[in-house]
Chains A and B, each alone.
Chain A
């Protein structure tokens, strides 16, 4: 399953050149850039693992690209995302977030249903290993 979280998941995966430009956009806005990775892309998994601290004081995206290359070297089999964080008043939140790495075999989500009273169904979304990988 192609996970479509983040800003650009309906486009072909971004090239490093495209990623560089998006990071530069974040820096031009004064945002801190953060690299995170996970093997649990559940839509409610807010806290992916941080690859070091957010990068607060960069002016050139090249620094982020070096960190990304290193993160990919270690966690290339996981999802990696880059986000831009705006600390200005009224936002103090993420302003952009996009995927920069996917595992070769993406997992999928099974929808589990528990039927309860009054035709109500309780839903649970469960992460499953890639169908391709299953024997």
Chain B
């Protein structure tokens, strides 16, 4: 289907009126993307009767230089350079009527170091386009030259671990529950109990900002009392993600400055604050030696459905460029959406310096991160101590495991819940490092650790039957490559 549509040139190309996008230079199947091009891959579902090539060329056109009609002012520019070029359209395996369209963009189309500019081009104008039923941005490839214009994670996994003096195991956290309604004083109690019991972090939830039941300064003050008390009680560094999300940048800076003044090691923002605000906070975090946690609030509105929206792997890539240090990236086994292979792809995007193309993980391009810091993924939502072997196997050790309900809902109390999680984790790491088949021996390893730890015993008993086995909505579409017989 990748036959040349016959781009018009010269005078013919600029005759006034409406012309097919594929004739205007937005469909160039012979084009070989340059190493310096930005590449985007969209899943395109054309309206019935619409030529998929024309639909894909339209995406290239509308996300770069085109409008609905020919304009002579193109001739005042190096138009052929600035036109995005759709160079390949494939049928999506197993999804009739859907196509993967590959589009290359010249680097000069983008302002250096700006996710807002990048996203305004790539997703700004094309998702409501009438000839298409639906469209999804599946993956992007950024040239090293472009990656290097971004700060990247303010702290990164390596320095975060050094700063916290915690190595060789996942970090443990919990989100304070109930997420709304606690007073500052009661909220700090939960923080203290959870940290003293053995967690490394506690966390504000996405919608805890400054409400009538608890204003932000009150929360920060009580939380830092709790953090310092737990630190003294254990001799370990502790932290709590103070959510500085607010209505304006000025408010956010004020809250972040106060968190710094109180000695917090970490602050938190929500994805809904927007890309510019996220980059501003990332720069603030770098300047102030602060770990920056990002809660991906709102992402499922556009990431979850396979036919339309933006894949979370795109958000993960943008956020690594933008410069946050933590990002929620799925648990696989917990309560929220997460196909194992797709989630593995997200984790690789966060943590590796080079991502090879891996269709089975939803990774369509080789991507070099050019020594940008590593971004710590966070697994949160419906996980508990009894799943520790699966979590370690699926997610690896550079991850924050957050057991909110799995800590605070413990029958013996919050500190006991925290201890159960920490003991389960340490026992599993010990077994893994000893070379044991911890995935299969997991329940046995946990039971043995529980023999010396009543809180773990209770946790395993309470949540023994809890699992969330639902069909994933977002899975990779690919044809497994047959290996040549040798």
Contacts and interface: CB of A to CB of B under 8 A. Distances in A.
Contacts, number: 104
A7 B168 contact: yes
Interface stretch (B17-25, B106-114, B420-428): B420-428
Interface residues of B, number: 39
B183 interface: no
A95 B198 contact: no
A96 B169 CA distance: 8
Contact of A41 (B167, B225, B235, B423): B235
A10 B453 CA distance: 10
B262 interface: yes
Interface in A36-93: 41-44, 46, 83-84, 89-93
Interface string B200-230: 0000000000000000010001001100110
Interface stretch (B3-11, B42-50, B71-79, B429-437): B429-437
B158 A111 contact: no
B234 interface: yes
A121 B227 CA distance: 12
A101 interface: no
B234 A4 contact: yes
A42 B231 CA distance: 10
B235 A1 contact: yes
B453 to A, nearest CB: 8
Nearest to B221: A119
A98 B169 CA distance: 11
- Tell me what chain B mostly uses at the interface: helix, strand, loop, or mixed: helix
B353 A89 contact: yes
B168 A43 contact: no
Interface in A80-128: 83-84, 89-98, 109-111, 119-121, 123, 125
A93 B158 CA distance: 7
B235 A25 contact: no
Interface of A: 1, 3-5, 7-12, 18, 21-22, 25, 41-44, 46, 83-84, 89-98, 109-111, 119-121, 123, 125
Interface of B: 158, 161-162, 165, 167-169, 198, 217, 221, 224-225, 228-229, 231-237, 261-263, 353, 371, 374, 419, 422-423, 426-427, 429-430, 433-435, 449, 452
Nearest 3 Cβ contacts at the A-B interface:
A96-B168, A25-B433, A111-B232
